[in-house]
Structure 1
Amino acid sequence: MTRQRSAVLIAGPTASGKSRLALARAEERGGLIVNADSMQVYDTVRVVTARPPAEDEGRAEHRLYGTVPASRRFSTGQWLGAVTEILAHTDIEREVIFVGGTGLYFNALINGFAEVPEISPELTLQVQQELEPLDEAGRMAMLVEVDPEIARRLGVADPQRVTRALAVHRATGRRLSSFQDDLQEGPLQGWRIERFVLAPDRDVLRARIATRFEQMFASGAVEEVEALLAKRLDPSLPVMKAIGVREIGDWLDGLHGREEAITLATIATHQYAKRQRTWFRNRMGDWPRLGLEGQPLR
């Protein structure tokens, strides 16, 4: 009889201690850690995207961290394809630990992912430029007009997700929700799965976020952004949207001071964490909740 394969899914907002919890689990059980964060797949920006440090990667095997050139776009479908390849070449006895903050990745693991045609970068950029002057309410209004079901599923008009939905509709004439309704089977079908969402107290999370960019500035974030900007990449690329890239870049250009750069990046991180929590609440409400770094909630 074939043994049922085992996976652990650890989701949570930024700065909640997901990577530390995953590392402890991997060291305890000899597990393989697979990145489930859409920004940590890119090279050049280890510090800016809070990727696990090299010493942690040396303590347990990590996959899909920093493996994609910053000059590329890496879709959820491509990530899922890479995961499927990893699983096919991983010992069936070995526990696989997925960790990150990208809700779509976890959804794809369990429920599968719709095959959506490739959207041209030019069209994506055009939509981004149209959305840029709009606030969340304005983005949501545009999304509701084109794809009310996607608007309902998202709950929050995240700029990247709205751009994706509008671009798909313009390119194909079909709503993104109709593609998603044609889901293929997820790669973890039939696996024994443990799943957790880290949901630490908001004040604790805010305090951790507040100190994050001070530490990043002291740990090489500025040098990373300098290296990234030296590549003169298309500003619409996902890696250029990583929190801290614009803020540090503007500081390097003399548009504001160091403390203001840190403050702006911290505010952006708070907003991102809020969007993550909303996704987890709306789409992963039945997942068990843990506190900071996997501690039991009080």
Structure 2
Amino acid sequence: MGEGQVSKAVLIAGPTASGKSALALELALSAGGVVINADSMQVYRDLRVITARPTRDDEAQVPHRLYGHVDAAVNFSAGAWLADAAVELTEARAQGRLPIFIGGTGLYFKALTSGLSTVPPVPPEVREGVRARLEQGGVEALHAELVRRDPAAAGRLNVRDRTRIARALEVVEATGRSLLDWHREGQPPLLPKDSFSALFLAPDRDELYARIDARFDAMLGAGALQEVEQLAARDLDPLVPAMKAHGVPVLIRHLRGEISLDEAAEIGRADTRHYAKRQFTWFRHQLPEFEWVKPEQARGWLAAAVRAAREHD
């Protein structure tokens, strides 16, 4: 594909274990593309196996970007990802490569196509103070504090959601304004309407759940437990996102001797199935611009998308 010939990007979303990575690789090989990660857990360097990142062989075949480029200690955000994605999009277009964004994180795709609110950085001392109160008083007390200081934000959150309650409280404490106010003022989308083709890969549920179960077992066979053991040895803040990746908390419980490996695997498979169900619901309601496509129809759909992407400006 020659320089200047790419006028659109291709977005491939879908639930975990739906076959997105193989599809993106095939498309990149055939269309001269670059695969850009849009999965919030595959960004972490420490989590190759447990997040089913593309293999090193796959990465050697075509350019793969934003995989494993963040340390697990970092509380990486959608805004940070969007800034990185902007750099990769510019580079792909400069090289005449088809940008292929692929992943299962709805918030990343929402930021890409609808923009994102711009919340000022929270000073470390504010964040540490909120987290200290969380550890000392518990999540209920922290939620009660949020109800007093930002009732609108508190009303939208589950009273047990430690991460989001802490985040909302950090923002109001640091800025004097509700997180909801910041969300109403944002930055424009990186990919505005009509600049992309978007596919949501939607396999049959029973088939998908069987794939999830098989893949979790395969990850254990490929060294997932050892990977999680190395992560646990770092003694990171349990609230950082990498420590909550699917499979990580339950395998840490096994490593501590609390449950057997079989029990951990069963819980891990069930958690991942529940996550896939939430992905279906989120994309259906939040990203209607994605076209839902069955796996057997995906290649034909992508061929049409590439023809659109190759249109001259």
- TM-score normalised over the length of structure 1: 0.85
**Which residue is 2:29 aligned to?**
27
Q: Is 1:236 paired with 2:256?
A: no
- The AA in structure 1 aligned to 2:44 is Y
Question: Which sections of structure 2, spanning at least 5 residues, go unmatched?
Answer: 301-313
- After superposition, what is the alpha-carbon deviation per residue over 1:237-280, rounded to whole angstroms, capped at 9, x for unaligned? 11111111111111122111111010111121122222222210
Q: Is 1:189 paired with 2:192?
A: yes
3-state SS of 1:289 partner = strand
Question: Which sections of structure 1, spanning at least 5 residues, go unmatched?
Answer: none
**Which residue is 1:72 aligned to?**
74
**Which residue is 1:262 aligned to?**
265
Residue 132 of structure 1 deviates from its aligned partner by 5.7
- What value does the CA root-mean-square deviation take over the aligned residues? 3.1
Residue 178 of structure 1 deviates from its aligned partner by 2.0
Q: Is 1:118 paired with 2:118?
A: no
Identify if the C-alpha distance between structure 1 residues 273 and 254 changes in structure 2 by more than 3 Å, giving closer, same or farther.
Answer: same
Identify if the C-alpha distance between structure 1 residues 222 and 277 changes in structure 2 by more than 3 Å, giving closer, same or farther.
Answer: same
Q: Which of residues 269, 276, 284 in structure 2 aligns to 1:273?
A: 276
1:6-25 correspondence runs (5 A): 6-25=8-27
Identify if the C-alpha distance between structure 1 residues 148 and 125 changes in structure 2 by more than 3 Å, giving closer, same or farther.
Answer: closer
**Which residue is 2:54 aligned to?**
52
- After superposition, what is the alpha-carbon deviation per residue over 1:194-233, rounded to whole angstroms, capped at 9, x for unaligned? 1011222211111111222211110010110111112221
3-state SS of 2:121 partner = coil
Residue 296 of structure 1 deviates from its aligned partner by 8.2
Question: Contact 1:36–1:102 (CA<8 Å) still a contact in 2?
Answer: yes
Residue 145 of structure 1 deviates from its aligned partner by 4.3
1:282-297 correspondence runs (5 A): 282-292=285-295, 295=298
Percent identical residues: 42
CA distance in 2, matches of 1:294, 1:166: 45
- The AA in structure 1 aligned to 2:274 is Q
**Across the two proteins, how many residue pairs are aligned to each other?**
287
Identify if the C-alpha distance between structure 1 residues 11 and 294 changes in structure 2 by more than 3 Å, giving closer, same or farther.
Answer: farther
Compare CA radii of gyration and give the structure with the larger one: 2
CA distance in 2, matches of 1:22, 1:193: 15
Question: Contact 2:73–2:236 (CA<8 Å) still a contact in 1?
Answer: yes
**Which residue is 1:147 aligned to?**
153
Question: Contact 1:4–1:191 (CA<8 Å) still a contact in 2?
Answer: no
Question: Contact 2:6–2:93 (CA<8 Å) still a contact in 1?
Answer: no
Question: Contact 1:42–1:67 (CA<8 Å) still a contact in 2?
Answer: yes
- The AA in structure 2 aligned to 1:20 is A
Question: Contact 2:21–2:102 (CA<8 Å) still a contact in 1?
Answer: yes
Q: Which of residues 38, 41, 44 in structure 2 aligns to 1:42?
A: 44
CA distance in 2, matches of 1:232, 1:266: 25
